[in-house]
Amino acid sequence: MRPLPSLPQLLLAGAVAFCGCARNLTPSVPPLSDRDAVVAAAIRCAAAQPRPRCGQGPPLQSRTRVVIDTGGEHVSAQALPESDSVQYVLLSRKEIWALADANGDFVFIGVGRPRVVGDSAEIGVQTEWARHDTGWRFCDSVFIRHNGEWIFAHPGHCIAI
């Protein structure tokens, strides 16, 4: 039997449906570039459960709906990991704050612009609370291309904000 969704999952699902601000779902097209593929690998890594494997920050509250800060043109539908079980929702920081103001705090993923050089890439990726003002660290993660796939290699540098 399938477990019932948690209250934060229900609130987020209802809020996203109500506000109509979701742009998104997992794309049916492959990444357009190495940058897209690195962003997808970083999102998949940050969404790993029960704790993010890369970056620093709290674990995601939902395993089926993941909010991602669009933060710039480097995060688009082509840069989302393929998944049959996870719905990725792309929202601007303003939409994330509005959703948190209306429905309570939740954890989302922030992704920086990737820097790709050959078969190595560095990208900032972080799970963050939408409204909790606890201060945070943004950390780079290093990925390498192995057999055509971008995989997490090791943590990079962190900066405290």
Confidence bin at 51 (pLDDT 50/70/90) = low
Q: Are 36 and 121 in contact (CB under 8 A)?
A: no
pLDDT at 9: 44
Domain ranges of the chain: 7-160
| pTM for this entry | 0.74
Rounded to the nearest integer, the mean pLDDT of the chain is 76
- Residue located via tokens 């109509």: 20
Confidence bin at 25 (pLDDT 50/70/90) = very low
Q: Are 130 and 97 in contact (CB under 8 A)?
A: yes
- Residue located via tokens 């089926």: 64
In this predicted structure, the answer to whether residue 64 has a pLDDT above a threshold of 80 is yes
Q: What is the 3-state secondary structure (H, E, C) of 124-148?
A: EEEEEECCCCCCCEEEEEEEEEECC
